[in-house]
Amino acid sequence: MEEFVTACPRNCYSTCTFRVQVENNRIIRILPYSGNLATPEGPCIKGLSYIERTHSPDRIIHPLIRTSSGKFRESSSNEALEIISDKLGSIIEEWGSPSILWYRGSGMAGLTNDIGSAFWKALGGTTLTYGNLCWPAGLEAVRLTLGSVKHNVPWDLENARTIIIWGKNPAETNIQEIAFITRAKEKGSTIIVIDPLRTTTADKADILFCPRTGTDGALALAIAKTLIDNNLIDREFIGKYVKGFEELKQSLKITLAEAESITGIPEENIIGLAEIIGKKGPVTILPGYGLQRHHNGGQTIRSVLLLSVLTGNIGKPGSGFNYANLQSYIFDELKEPLSYYPDPEKDMPFRRTISMTKLGSDMLNTHDPVLKAAWIERGNPVLQSPDTNSVKKAFSALEFKVVVEQFMTDTASLANIILPAKDIFEQSDILGSYWSPYIQFKPKVIQSPGEVMPESEIYYNLSQRMNMNISTDLIPEPGKIRVFNLTGELISKARISNRVPTGIVMFPNGIWFNEGGGVNRLISAEETDIGFGAAFHDNRVEIERAD
Ligand code: SF4
C-alpha cells in the first residue's frame, strides 16, 4: 500500500488537500491532510466518494464511435483519433478552423488542462466561448471596487466578531468554511445569515434575514445609508482609501420605508443590522455567487461590498469581503491572452467568441463560417447551460462532435466520438484555488484504465496525426523522449519534476546499454579548465516526444 498527498481539482472553493492510499492501482482510502490550514478536516462527501467514481463500472474507458445505427461502439484510440484527424482536417479545409467550437468547462481545474489552447492555436484558431456561467459579475464588481480580487486567508475568519453570510450556503458549498465559522461563534462572534432561503447554514445563524430574492442591493444600500446617517462609518479609513465618498453620500436616497417595501425586511431590523455592522467589528462578509446571478448582480455585489468599505472592514485581521481570493489563481494570466490572440504577423481573425450564457442561440446564429463541429471537454453544456432546448438543438445540428468525458452525460450522448477522460487521480497537475492562498501540486497516483488519456496526451497524439507542431512543455506525464545533440541521441523515459528547473534535463548515472544506455552518448569529451576533469554538465541538448 502506498500513500500520497494530493488535492481536489473540482470547481469548488476549497481545493482540499487530502491523503490517498493506493493498493494494486486502486484508491482504497481517502483521508484528511492537516498540512493545508484551510482544509485540515478533510474532503467533503463528494471528495470521499471519488473512490466509487474513479473505479465506477459506468466509466467510459475506451473511445466510443457512433455507428450508422445511432448506437456507440468501442474503438481503439488510434481509430478514434484517425477519424477525428480526418474529419477536423476536411472541415477546416472546406469551412475554416473557426467553424469548430472549442468548449471547455471547469469540471477539472489545473494548469495542464488548458494545453488545448496551444493545439487550437496551432490549428489556426477556433470559435471559443466568452463569459462564464458561475461568478463573473461578482468578480468584476470586486475588481472595479477594490482593484483586485483577494481576501484574507480562510482561517482568519476566527478573528471576526461579526460574520455575515450573505446569499451563501457554505454548509453545503464550502463546508471547510463552516469549521472556521463555528470556531468564531464559540469565541463570541455573531453569525448573521441573509438569504431568501432557510438553508442548512441558516440553521447555524444567530440572526437570519430573509429578503425577497433579487432585492439584496436595496437592502445593502439602505444599510449603507443608515451607517452614514448614524455616523457608524470609519472616517479615517474613508479619508485614506476611499474615492467618491461625498458623491455616494449624495446619491444614497433610499429610505428605510422604501427598503422595507422592496425587501420585506422591517425598518427596525435594517437599523439593527446596520448597528451590528457599524459597532461590532471586525466584520467579515461572506457573499455567495447566487447573489450576483441576477440582472443587477454586479451592482448588488458592489452595494454589499460598500458596507465593508464604509466601516473600514478591509485588509485587517477578522475583516473583509470574501467573494473570491485569486492570489493563487495565476494560470489564466499564464495562458490568456497569449494562447488565443493572433500571432502579430498573421493578418487574419484568429479567434471568434460566442457567449457561454447564450450558447444555444449564439451557436445557431453564427455565420461566416457557420459552426460545423464542436470539441467539448470538462463540461456538460447541454445540461449546464441556460435554455437547454436551444443548446440541444444547436449541438444536434452540428456535423461532428467530439466529447471528452468520463461518463455518458447528456452532452456525451450527442457526440459522434467520445474520448474517455482522465480521472482526478490519473494526471499530475498544478492547482490554484479561489479561496485559499495555496498553489498545489497534484500528483498522478494511479494509472488510467483502458485507453483513457489526459487531454494533454490526446492533443499531443492528435497533433502528430495532423502534422502540427505544438509545444509539449506542459505535458507532465511520464513518457518517452528523444534527447539529442550533435554528439548523439538517446531515447529515455522522462518525468517532469519540480526538483529540476525549467530548461534542464537531468539523467541519473549508470544506465547500461541493455536498459537504454547512458547519457555519455550525448556528452562530448571535453576537459574542465583545471584538474583534467570531465565537463559533463556543459552539455546542450534538445528534446522531443518519442512515444
Ligand atoms: S470540498 Fe470541494 S475541493 Fe474539497 S473534496 Fe469536496 S469538492 Fe473537492
Rounded to the nearest angstrom, the distance between the alpha carbon of 40 and the centre of ligand 1 is 12
Cis omega (within 30 of 0) for bond into 342:
no
Atom of ligand 1 nearest to the CA of 46: 6
On whether the CB atoms of residues 380 and 105 are closer than 8 A, the answer is yes
Phi and psi torsions of 252, nearest 5°: -80, 95
Q: Are residues 171 and 286 both part of a single domain?
A: yes
Choosing from 5, 6, 8, 175 the residue with most ligand 1 atoms within 8 A of its CB, the one to mutate for a pocket test is 8
Residue 48 lies in a domain: no
Least confident of 8-22, 127-141, 493-507: 493-507
Query: Among the three residues 263, 288, 323, which one is the final residue of a domain in this structure?
Result: 323
Q: Are residues 252 and 221 both part of a single domain?
A: yes
Q: Are residues 449 and 512 both part of a single domain?
A: no
Phi and psi torsions of 57, nearest 5°: -70, -15
Q: What cell does 263 get?
A: 425587501
Q: Are residues 459 and 507 both part of a single domain?
A: no
**Shortest CA distance to 430 belongs to which of 355, 331, 526?**
331
Residue 250 lies in a domain: yes
Q: Are residues 120 and 140 both part of a single domain?
A: no
Answer with the residue of higher pLDDT: 410 or 349. Answer: 410
What is the model's pLDDT at position 516? 65
Give buried/exposed letters for 509-523 (b at 16+ CB in 10 A, else e).
eebeeeeebbbbebb
Query: Among the three residues 323, 344, 365, which one is the final residue of a domain in this structure?
Result: 323
Atom of ligand 1 nearest to the CA of 176: 1
**Domain of 273: which CATH number?**
3.40.228.10
Number of Cβ within a 10 Å radius of residue 231: 8
**Domain of 364: which CATH number?**
3.40.50.740
| Rounded percentage of the chain residues whose pLDDT exceeds 70 | 91
Q: Are residues 441 and 491 both part of a single domain?
A: no
Using CA atoms, how far residue 108 sits from 139, 302, 428, 454, in Å, is 20, 30, 12, 11
Q: Are residues 390 and 419 both part of a single domain?
A: yes
For the chain, the average pLDDT equals 89
Q: Are residues 308 and 221 both part of a single domain?
A: yes
On whether the CB atoms of residues 145 and 303 are closer than 8 A, the answer is no
Residue 317 lies in a domain: yes
| Rounded percentage of the chain residues whose pLDDT exceeds 90 | 69
Per the structure, the complete domain to which residue 417 belongs is given by: 64-133+331-465
Q: Are residues 276 and 354 both part of a single domain?
A: no
Least confident of 33-47, 78-92, 428-442, 468-482: 468-482
Rounded to the nearest angstrom, the distance between the alpha carbon of 37 and the centre of ligand 1 is 14
Q: Are residues 493 and 443 both part of a single domain?
A: no
Residue 45 lies in a domain: no
Residue 335 lies in a domain: yes
Rounded to the nearest angstrom, the distance between the alpha carbon of 177 and the centre of ligand 1 is 12
Per-residue pLDDT for 336 more than 50? no
Average pLDDT over residues 127-156: 90
pLDDT interval class at 469 (50, 70, 90): low
Q: Are residues 183 and 307 both part of a single domain?
A: yes
Q: What ranges make up the beta strands (E) of 362-443?
A: 373-377, 400-405, 417-420, 429-431, 440-442
Q: Are residues 213 and 301 both part of a single domain?
A: yes
User: How many domains, the chain?
Assistant: 3
Choosing from 5, 6, 10 the residue with most ligand 1 atoms within 8 A of its CB, the one to mutate for a pocket test is 10
pLDDT interval class at 169 (50, 70, 90): very high
Q: Which long-range contacts (CB under 8 A, 24 or more apart) does 53-57 make?
A: 53/406, 53/423, 54/27, 54/423, 54/424, 54/425, 54/446, 55/26, 55/27, 56/407
